[in-house]
Chains A and B, each alone.
Chain A
Amino acid sequence: MAKRIDVSGLHVYYGDFLAVEDVSMTIEPRSVTAFIGSSGCGKSTFLRTLNRMHEVTPGARAEGKVLLDDLDIYGPDVDPVLVRSEIGMVFQKANPFPTMSIYDNVIAGARLNNKRMPRSEADDLVEESLRGANLWEEVKDRLDKPGSGLSGGQQQRLCIARATAVRPSVLLMDEPCSALDPISTLAIEDLIHKLKEDYTIVIVTHNMQQAARVSDRTAFFNLSAPGKPGNLIEMGETNQIFTRPEKKETENYITGRFG
């Protein structure tokens, strides 16, 4: 059920300001693609255009084509609501709904589409999603407790379970570990390895070691100058990007010779 994403000629604007310029890339199914680059280079902005979450920000718009398998998610009559249930997202800061129990958090998205889901089916889905997120063993005895009572890393895995319970084909992760301690980070990275068997995964990260550890392919974004739009500099096998980058800028960035 994992799907390929083909981006061609995508520009992203905030009002009149061009934030990301002319990105074309292919994101392979059943693999992890990492976006790296300095702060403000547009990698998160670009990530959000992949499931049309950028439209939530007032004034933001994208031009270009994003094909999910062979369907243009920016095509006429395409409903962003359906796009987002097909392409899930996990955020930098874990954001379980504070007033809901762990159980309700996991089931929240799935319930939107299927209100009268039988109890047993819902139970199965919750267990399956939590197991999928490597969280089941830790929370199975307190499913009715609020999700906000979990640790940061557990909350993030709860959010991943919540996203997968909708059964998307793609998971976008926007710096999912940047607020976590090393042990929780490791747990999430393990999880990403496991999830890529079923999903297309795109992860934005500040941490180059993390990109090297978890991703199959890596894309490097950069600004040509402050105030200028962000560009995709190069993209390739992670191994190649980190050992034999083709572009000078990429080499500067990964070797730390970057301002």
Chain B
Amino acid sequence: MSTTTTQPPAPGPEAGATLELRTGALPRRFPLALLVGSGMVVAGVLAAFSSFGPIAWALLTAVAYTVIIVTASARVEGGRKAKDRLVTAVVYGCFLLAMTPLVSLLYTVFGYGLNRFSPYFLTVSMNGVLPSMDAGGVYHAIVGTLAITGMATLMSVPVGVLTAVYLVEYAEGRLKKVITFFVDVMTGIPSIVAGLFVVALWMMLFGPGNTNGAAGAISLAVLMIPVVVRSSEEMLRLVPQDLREASYALGVPKWRTITKVVLPTSAAGLTTGIMLAIARVIGETAPLVLTAGSSAVSINWNLFDGQMMNLPVFIFSQFRMGGAVNYERAWAAALTLVLTVMLLFILARVIGRLFAPKTR
């Protein structure tokens, strides 16, 4: 296969041997043309023989393209080039392969979710609605999600940011290493374990069977704190050292320097990190199934009294009921949740970009 390689591999100082820097090269537009061509051919074949699935089409096109370009390249350009082209095709393929579930997921969430997604759905609870009735909505779950996530945020932001301040501005030696290491470890706690932790805690404090929003908030805080620490730490380290030194030189005490110079400088970054942390925990289901309960149907603003429904658990419990209407509700709630998360994500990026200090 490598017989067409024009670079003679054999060493030797043969002076005057004709030098060849050209390989047989595939025309520059060949890959694009081939891609379009194989796409059309595969589409034709699929349409002729069986139903036309977009995913099957994309996969077959990718395979056909890869096989043809690698063979052609091996013929014309030689083995090394062919391998390079193979890897290029595979690497692009990996990315497209990863995008397939994302596209499919968003497509179905929007497709199924829009059936029931309406102002009515968002503003009505499930109070008095039987599972199979063509009625009801997620208002109570939205309330619960806001209350639980809000409380979790209120708990984890001060602890997280202060820990980050400690790690960046104060800590040294053993304690710093220990905290850094265990924050990393804490990032890896499975969410269900965080839920069980609160269950165990509540059993000791209030006896068994006590579920309420506050318990859910604590379990989310356990998951959120390490994320906040990590991102805040990164942001605080971006604050240039000269800024601190300039402040010290003016005789400003350290704590005032941190609160008046360091934290405001990194405020945008901190906010971004906190919003991403919220986005991460707002979709947590498992700990809330254990702690906040999964059967509440009415609006409950009180974190300390009784079960509290929330969006992820709502999806799960509707899913478990398993009727057609329940699935519709689950998808519509999933759409609500996905939109919320995406909004947080985009907002976080926008804030991070707009208000980032110009330090670079």
* Interface residues in B, total, Cβ within 8 A: 18
A167 within 8 A of B: yes
- Chain B residue with Cβ nearest A87: B21
Write the A237-259 contact mask toward B (1 if CB under 8 angstroms, else 0): 00000000000000000000000
Write the A85-110 contact mask toward B (1 if CB under 8 angstroms, else 0): 11000000000000000000000001
Q: Across the interface, do B19 and A112 meet the contact criterion of CB distance under 8 Å?
A: no
A82 within 8 A of B: yes
Q: Across the interface, do B21 and A1 meet the contact criterion of CB distance under 8 Å?
A: no
Could you tell me the distance between the alpha carbons of A113 and B14 in the complex, rounded to whole angstroms? Answer: 18
Could you tell me the distance between the alpha carbons of A20 and B187 in the complex, rounded to whole angstroms? Answer: 51
The residues of B that contact A57 with a CB separation of less than 8 Å are none
Could you tell me the distance between the alpha carbons of A77 and B22 in the complex, rounded to whole angstroms? Answer: 6
Could you tell me the distance between the alpha carbons of A167 and B14 in the complex, rounded to whole angstroms? Answer: 11
Could you tell me the distance between the alpha carbons of A167 and B6 in the complex, rounded to whole angstroms? Answer: 15
Could you tell me the distance between the alpha carbons of A198 and B14 in the complex, rounded to whole angstroms? Answer: 12
Could you tell me the distance between the alpha carbons of A52 and B15 in the complex, rounded to whole angstroms? Answer: 24
A75 within 8 A of B: yes
For chain B, residues 31 to 84, give those with C-beta under 8 angstroms from any C-beta of chain A.
80-81
Q: Across the interface, do B11 and A75 meet the contact criterion of CB distance under 8 Å?
A: no
- Chain B residue with Cβ nearest A125: B11
Q: Across the interface, do A79 and B15 meet the contact criterion of CB distance under 8 Å?
A: no
Q: Distance in Å from the Cβ of A63 to the closest Cβ of chain B?
A: 18
The B interface, classified by DSSP as helix, strand, loop or mixed, is loop
B25 within 8 A of A: yes
Q: Across the interface, do B13 and A1 meet the contact criterion of CB distance under 8 Å?
A: yes
Q: Across the interface, do A71 and B19 meet the contact criterion of CB distance under 8 Å?
A: yes
Q: Across the interface, do A82 and B23 meet the contact criterion of CB distance under 8 Å?
A: yes
Could you tell me the distance between the alpha carbons of A12 and B27 in the complex, rounded to whole angstroms? Answer: 25
Give the interface centre of B7, B21, B81 by most chain A CB atoms within 10 Å.
B21
Write the A101-127 contact mask toward B (1 if CB under 8 angstroms, else 0): 000000000101110000000000100
Could you tell me the distance between the alpha carbons of A69 and B20 in the complex, rounded to whole angstroms? Answer: 11
Give the interface centre of A75, A77, A79, A167 by most chain B CB atoms within 10 Å.
A79
A3 within 8 A of B: yes
Q: Across the interface, do A75 and B19 meet the contact criterion of CB distance under 8 Å?
A: no
B128 within 8 A of A: no
The residues of A that contact B173 with a CB separation of less than 8 Å are none
Write the A62-78 contact mask toward B (1 if CB under 8 angstroms, else 0): 00000011010101011
Q: Across the interface, do A113 and B9 meet the contact criterion of CB distance under 8 Å?
A: yes
- Chain B residue with Cβ nearest A69: B19
The residues of B that contact A78 with a CB separation of less than 8 Å are 21-22
- Chain B residue with Cβ nearest A2: B15
A143 within 8 A of B: no
A150 within 8 A of B: no
Q: Across the interface, do A112 and B13 meet the contact criterion of CB distance under 8 Å?
A: no
Q: Across the interface, do A75 and B9 meet the contact criterion of CB distance under 8 Å?
A: no
Contact of B9 among A1, A3, A114, A169 (CB under 8 A): A114
The residues of B that contact A113 with a CB separation of less than 8 Å are 5, 7, 9, 80
Q: Across the interface, do B15 and A1 meet the contact criterion of CB distance under 8 Å?
A: yes
Q: Distance in Å from the Cβ of A120 to the closest Cβ of chain B?
A: 13
A18 within 8 A of B: no
Q: Across the interface, do B21 and A86 meet the contact criterion of CB distance under 8 Å?
A: yes
A83 within 8 A of B: yes
Q: Across the interface, do B14 and A85 meet the contact criterion of CB distance under 8 Å?
A: no
The residues of A that contact B5 with a CB separation of less than 8 Å are 113
Could you tell me the distance between the alpha carbons of A87 and B95 in the complex, rounded to whole angstroms? Answer: 35
Assess A79 versus B9: contact at CB under 8 Å? Given A1-B14, A1-B15, A112-B80.
no
Q: A73-B21, A77-B25, A82-B21 are in contact. List 20 more A-B contacts (CB 8 A).
A: A1-B13, A68-B21, A71-B19, A71-B21, A77-B22, A77-B23, A78-B22, A79-B23, A82-B6, A82-B23, A83-B21, A85-B7, A86-B21, A110-B11, A112-B80, A113-B7, A113-B9, A114-B10, A125-B11, A167-B11
A-B contact pairs, 8 of them (CB 8 A): A73-B21, A77-B25, A79-B23, A82-B6, A82-B20, A86-B19, A113-B9, A167-B12
Residues of B near any A CB (own CB < 8 A): 5-7, 9-15, 19-23, 25, 80-81
Residues of A near any B CB (own CB < 8 A): 1, 3, 68-69, 71, 73, 75, 77-79, 81-83, 85-86, 110, 112-114, 125, 167, 169, 198
A-B complex: 8 closest residue pairs judged by Cβ atoms:
A114-B9, A113-B9, A77-B22, A77-B25, A1-B13, A79-B23, A78-B21, A82-B21
